C-alpha cells in the first residue's frame, strides 16, 4: 500500500521503500523496519501518517464491533445519515464504499491500518463527514486500528466465533471488551452480558429496558415497534426481517441520537426505505421463496431460523474449514431443530477434507440428514424437492468464491439459484 504526498509517499511495504519515503510501522511489518531504515525510509506511526495526510479531525470515525450484525448496522447507519443529509463512507466485510460507489473490493473485515487510512483519505476528499468501519476481534488483537481516533463505537452482540484464533470464549470476550474500555462515546447492547465496557459516555439499547428500547414489537410483516428514549416516543417501521434486525436498527437509532441529537421520530424516519445488504437475508426468489444469508455461527443461525419458526424450512448450510471446529455440531443441532429438511454441504473447506467437515457438522443431527459435498448440487437438490417451504441457503452470503485447497473458485449462491431457475423456466416454456 502506497499513499502519495506532495513530496514523496507513505508505504507499509518494505519492497516499495525508496530513500526519503515514510514507512508506517505496524504489528504486521515491524520485522522489516531495519530493512526500511537501511533503504533510507523515515519510520512513522499510523498517527503520524494521519497527520502528514492532513486527516486529523477532518472526519468522524465510527467503529462497529460484535459477532453478528456489523455489516447490516454499518450500511443501515450510512443510509440513515444520508437520509438526514450527511455523507458517509463504509468499510468492512463487503469492501469499502462511498455512497453507492465501491472504492475497494472485499478483503479483511478490518483492513491493514495504512489501507484503512487510504480509505479515510478518499472519504475526506469526497466530502464525507463520517467513516463507518467494521472492527473485527482479529483487528483489535493485532492492533490493526492503531492511530485511529474513534468518535463513536458500537457494540452489537457476542457469541461463539473465531475460537480457532482466540482459543477460548473468555479470551474472545476480553478482546472485544478491550475496544470498549475507554471514554469514547459508545452504543452498547444492554441485553448482551458477555462483555464489559466503560459506562462513561455510553448509551445502551435493548428490546426491554435501556436508554433506548423497543416496545409494542410486531415482527410479522417487517419490523414495527414503538421506540422509547426517556420521555420521547417514536414509531419505527422497517422492511427488514427478524428480531436480530430490530437490534441492528436500535443500535443505529442510538448511534444517530448520539451523533446528531435529533428528535427520535426524525431519526426513526431516517431508517425508512433501507433495502438491506447483499447476502444478508437476501430474497433471491419470491416464488418459490429462496433466501441467502451470511449466518455462519451458532448464534447467527439460531437468530435467522428462529425468526422464521412459523414457516416450514429447507436449510442448506455447511461450515468453513480451518476455523473453530467446536461450533460445527452445534450449528448442525440448531438447524435440525428448526428445519423440515436439512442439507449439509461444503462452505469454504479451505485445506480440510470437506467430507470430514460435513460429518462433524452432522454428528448430532438425525441419521436421515441429507449430505451433499458439492454445494451447487446441494442447492439444486433443495430446489428440486422444495414445494411450499422457504429455502434458506446459509453461510456464504454475498461471497463470490468457494475456497478449496488454497484456490478460490468462482461461486455465488445467488447465481446458482438464478441459473437453476432460468433453466427451469426455459424447459417449461
- 142 annotated among ligand-binding-site residues: yes
- For residue 264, what is its C-alpha cell? 427520535
Q: What are phi and psi of 397, to 5 degrees?
A: 55, -120
Answer for the pair 414, 282: CB distance below 8 angstroms, yes or no. yes
Tell me the C-alpha distance between 228 and 209, whole Å. Answer: 9
- 14 annotated among ligand-binding-site residues: yes
- 328 annotated among ligand-binding-site residues: no
Between the two ends of the chain, the Cα-to-Cα distance in Å is 52
- 112 annotated among ligand-binding-site residues: no
- CA nearest to 272, candidates 220, 214, 223: 223
- 58 annotated among ligand-binding-site residues: no
- 289 annotated among ligand-binding-site residues: no
- 144 annotated among ligand-binding-site residues: yes
Alpha carbon 35 to its chain centroid, in Å, reads 36
- 29 annotated among ligand-binding-site residues: no
Answer for the pair 292, 278: CB distance below 8 angstroms, yes or no. no
The 42-44 sheet, strands edge to edge:
2-4, 9-11, 22-24, 42-44
- Region of 190 please: left (phi>0), alpha (psi -120 to 50) or beta: alpha
Answer for the pair 90, 128: CB distance below 8 angstroms, yes or no. no
Residue with cell 416450514: 312
- 151 annotated among ligand-binding-site residues: no
Q: Half-sphere exposure of 241 toward its Cβ, with a 13 Å CA cutoff?
A: 16
- 126 annotated among ligand-binding-site residues: no
- 395 annotated among ligand-binding-site residues: yes
- 109 annotated among ligand-binding-site residues: yes
- 85 annotated among ligand-binding-site residues: no
- 323 annotated among ligand-binding-site residues: yes
- 226 annotated among ligand-binding-site residues: no
Coil, strand or helix at 242: coil
Q: How far is CA 129 from CA 106, 266, 360, in A?
A: 23, 19, 47
Q: Does a cis peptide bond (omega within 30 degrees of 0) precede residue 351?
A: no
- 326 annotated among ligand-binding-site residues: no
- 70 annotated among ligand-binding-site residues: yes
- 350 annotated among ligand-binding-site residues: yes
Binding residues for ATP: 66-72
Binding residues: 14, 66-72, 109-110, 136, 142, 144, 323, 347-350, 395, 399
Binding residues for meso-2,6-diaminopimelate: 323, 347-350, 395, 399
Amino acid at each position: 500500500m502506497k499513499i502519495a504526498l506532495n513530496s514523496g509517499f507513505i508505504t507499509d511495504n518494505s519492497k516499495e521503500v525508496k530513500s526519503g519515503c515514510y514507512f508506517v510501522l505496524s504489528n504486521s511489518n515491524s520485522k522489516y523496519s531495519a530493512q526500511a531504515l537501511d533503504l533510507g525510509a523515515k519510520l512513522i506511526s499510523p498517527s503520524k501518517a494521519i497527520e502528514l495526510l492532513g486527516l486529523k479531525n477532518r472526519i468522524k470515525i465510527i467503529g462497529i464491533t460484535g459477532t453478528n450484525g456489523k455489516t447490516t448496522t454499518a450500511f443501515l447507519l450510512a443510509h440513515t445519515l444520508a437520509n438526514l443529509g450527511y455523507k458517509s463512507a463504509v468499510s468492512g466485510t463487503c469492501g469499502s464504499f462511498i455512497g453507492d460507489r465501491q472504492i475497494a473490493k472485499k478483503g479483511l473485515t478490518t483492513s491493514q491500518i495504512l489501507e484503512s487510512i487510504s480509505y479515510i483519505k478518499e472519504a475526506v476528499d469526497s466530502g464525507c463527514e463520517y467513516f463507518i468501519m467494521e472492527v473485527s476481534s482479529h483487528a483489535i488483537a493485532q492492533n490493526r486500528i492503531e492511530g485511529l481516533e474513534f468518535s463513536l463505537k458500537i457494540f452489537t452482540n457476542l457469541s461463539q466465533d473465531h475460537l480457532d484464533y482466540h482459543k477460548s470464549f473468555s479470551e474472545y470476550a476480553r478482546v472485544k471488551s478491550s475496544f470498549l474500555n475507554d471514554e469514547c462515546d459508545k452504543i452498547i447492547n444492554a441485553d448482551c452480558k458477555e462483555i464489559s465496557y466503560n459506562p462513561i459516555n455510553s448509551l445502551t439499547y435493548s428490546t426491554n429496558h435501556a436508554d433506548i428500547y423497543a416496545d409494542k414489537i410486531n415482527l410479522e410483516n417487517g419490523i414495527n415497534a414503538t421506540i422509547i428514549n426517556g420521555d420521547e416516543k417514536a414509531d419505527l417501521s422497517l422492511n427488514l426481517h427478524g428480531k436480530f434486525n430490530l437490534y441492528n436498527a436500535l443500535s443505529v437509532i442510538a448511534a444517530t441520537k448520539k451523533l446528531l441529537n435529533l428528535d427520535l421520530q426524525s431519526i426513526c424516519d431516517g431508517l425508512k426505505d433501507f433495502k438491506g445488504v447483499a447476502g444478508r437475508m437476501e430474497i433471491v426468489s419470491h416464488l418459490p421463496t429462496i433466501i441467502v444469508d451470511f449466518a455462519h455461527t451458532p448464534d447467527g443461525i439460531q437468530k435467522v431460523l428462529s425468526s422464521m419458526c412459523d414457516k416450514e424450512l429447507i436449510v442448506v448450510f455447511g461450515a468453513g474449514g480451518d476455523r473453530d471446529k467446536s461450533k460445527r455440531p452445534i450449528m448442525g443441532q440448531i438447524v435440525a431443530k428448526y428445519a423440515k429438511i436439512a442439507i449439509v454441504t461444503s462452505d469454504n473447506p479451505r485445506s480440510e477434507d470437506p467430507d470430514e467437515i460435513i460429518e462433524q457438522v452432522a454428528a448430532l443431527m438425525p441419521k436421515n440428514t441429507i449430505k451433499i459435498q458439492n454445494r451447487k448440487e446441494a442447492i439444486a437438490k433443495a430446489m428440486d424437492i422444495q414445494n411450499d417451504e422457504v429455502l434458506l441457503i446459509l453461510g456464504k452470503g454475498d461471497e463470490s468464491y468457494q475456497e478449496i485447497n488454497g484456490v478460490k473458485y468462482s461461486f455465488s449462491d445467488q447465481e446458482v439459484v438464478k441459473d437453476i431457475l432460468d433453466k427451469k423456466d426455459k424447459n417449461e416454456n
